[in-house]
Amino acid sequence: MIQDRLRTRMGWLHAWSGFVFGLLLVCIFASGTIAVFDTELTRWLQPEVPPSATALTDEALEETLPTIRKLLERDEKPFITLPSERDPILRVQYHDGHEFLNIPFDPGTGQELAARATVGGTFFYDLHYSLRNGDTGIIFVTFSGLMLLIVLGSGIIIHLKELIPDLLVLRPFSARLRAWLDVHVLASVPFLPFAFMMAYTGTFLHTRSILPPVSYLASINAAITPVAVRAESPALQKEKTVVPALPPLSPLLHDAEKVVRAGQVGFILFLPKNILISRTDASGPARTREHVDFSYDGHFIRHVLLTTPLTRTQQVMEGIHYVRWGGAGMRWLYFISGLATTIMIGSGLVLFLMKRRRLSGGRVIFRLAEGLTVSVLVGFPLACSGFFWGNRLLSGGSEQRTQEEVTVFFLIWAASAVWGMGGCLMKWRVQVWRSELGLLAVLSALLGPLDLLTRSGGTVFHTPTVFAAVDLIALCVAAVAFQIARRLA
């Protein structure tokens, strides 16, 4: 009796908190899933950069210095990412406030590669952890992560008795509600370890945003004050940076390699006072960011490796969440698990609407909720697809190109939301779902041909892995969208 009452209460909590936060969590998980391959996506988004390159030479490293100097003069904090298994290209990168923009160089000769400016795969990374809204976005994302833990916990309590017997049950040809419930359970139960791990580590990493060490008022004030206003305050105004002469990098790199081992250097960061040569995140499960610091006159300053229990915990949590150390196989596991968790949340949203349609289907609030669901479940992938199209179709010479890519993404998403909510309010529910799913199927199916047409040297029978993987996944998305649209009543 007590158990039944508990299950009923947990059912209410699971349904309502799941729906309200699920709308946001779908976007967070979908963008996080895509961001697992952010480096590879950047390569797809810059088709002018060759898919393979020769090994790094000392001369090539020195050739990047003029670019570094220019960026330092603009008060940026540039860094050089060295060629790696994931990306064979030498890149100079800097943060524009949202994404890491990059300038690619040939690692053999040091010649700058003429490639389109793009926000790259880090666009999805920024969207994932801050919703492109800085500290305010991080608070929302972290709180949603916390709610996901509650939703998962309540879901387990509801389903505890049937957890094992239902593990392998899928009846796609049963009644629609039954079929969706099976999909929801199948995408949840086997992937629970992953969902818990990601929600826990993700929330842990930004705990300070929801449990700040200072008063809430001060923390909220800092979060909602725009960065530009803060920068204008007299206390924070800085003098113009004077860029010192840059030392040759290869001797510093070789010195650093003696400390962190050869082949273990990930990037070289240029700060106003010193140069940090840091260990790659791919070196192990703990994201230590161990670094060797040099002054601008080329002298060794210090070796930094934080080893307190607290920092070690933080490093392991980051390592587990970012999975930059596990190799391609592990990243695919994360990608598939992330996709399943997104399906779990998405199918939960659909179930929430299905169960209430008979009683509340005519209400304005219900139709608005359905419009929001369409905008998230179909609008978000539609915007992602549009982003890839925008990347290939926007002219390469435009100075504001990176911003245009982002604008394309949000314009498509906004249009989808307006049509989704407007259509549902006008009781064109089926037409709304069908039209958006149909458009998603067309855009995704044609992404492969678009890739082949807009990438020099690409043929159907010889496509480098990075490009082939993106095109094939887009084709799978198209097939799923088409199938769902076809089966809609």
Partner 1 sequence: MIVLCSVLWIVSLSVQAVSEPRMLRIARREAVAPALTVRLMRWVSLVGLLLCLYQRPSTALFVWLGSFSIATVVVALGWAWRYRGVQRVRRTGGGS
Residues engaged in binding partner 1 (CB under 8 A): 165-175, 186, 189-191, 193-194, 284-285, 325-327, 329-330, 332-334, 336-337, 340
- Smallest gap from residue 190 Cβ to partner 1 (A): 4
Give the DSSP letter of residue 112: B
Dig out the tokens for 381 from the structure: 């992938």
CA 98-100-101 angle, 5° bins: 110
Asked if 467 contacts 454 with a C-beta cutoff of 8 angstroms, the reply is: no
Q: Minimum distance between the CB of residue 384 and partner 1, rounded to whole angstroms?
A: 23
Please report how many Cα atoms fall inside a 13 Å half-sphere around the Cα of residue 390, on the Cβ side. 23
Nearest-Å Rg of the Cα atoms of the chain is: 24
For residues 387, 392, 395, 400, the Cα torsion angle rounded to the nearest 10 degrees is 30
Amino acid at 327: G
CB-wise, 172 or 226, nearer to partner 1? 172
Minimum distance from CB of 330 to partner 1 (Å)?
6
Q: Which is nearer to partner 1, 160 or 393 (CB)?
A: 160
In what helix (H) or strand (E) does residue 348 lie, and over which residues does it extend? Answer: helix 327-360
Beta strands 300-304; 100-105: pairing state:
unpaired
Q: Give SS3 for 294.
A: strand
Interatomic CA distance for residues 133 and 31, integer angstroms: 15
Residue 193 tokens, joined: 């370890």
Is 89 or 199 the residue whose CB approaches partner 1 more closely? Answer: 199
Nearer to partner 1, 114 or 164 (CB): 164
Tracing tokens 């309502």 back to the chain, one arrives at: 16
Nearer to partner 1, 142 or 341 (CB): 341
Cα 41 from Cα 57, distance rounded (Å): 25
Shortest spacing between CB 189 and partner 1, in angstroms:
8
Nearer to partner 1, 204 or 428 (CB): 204
Its sign, for the CA torsion 417, 419, 420, 425, is positive
Identity of the residue, 172 or 457, whose beta carbon is nearer to partner 1 in the bound complex = 172
At residue 174, the 3 state secondary structure works out as coil
Rounded Cα–Cα distance for residues 474 and 131 (Å): 23
Three-state SS at 75: coil
Q: Tell the smallest beta-carbon distance from residue 167 to partner 1 (Å).
A: 6
Judged by CB, which is closer to partner 1: 83, or 338?
338
Q: How far apart are CB 223 and partner 1 at their closest, in Å?
A: 34
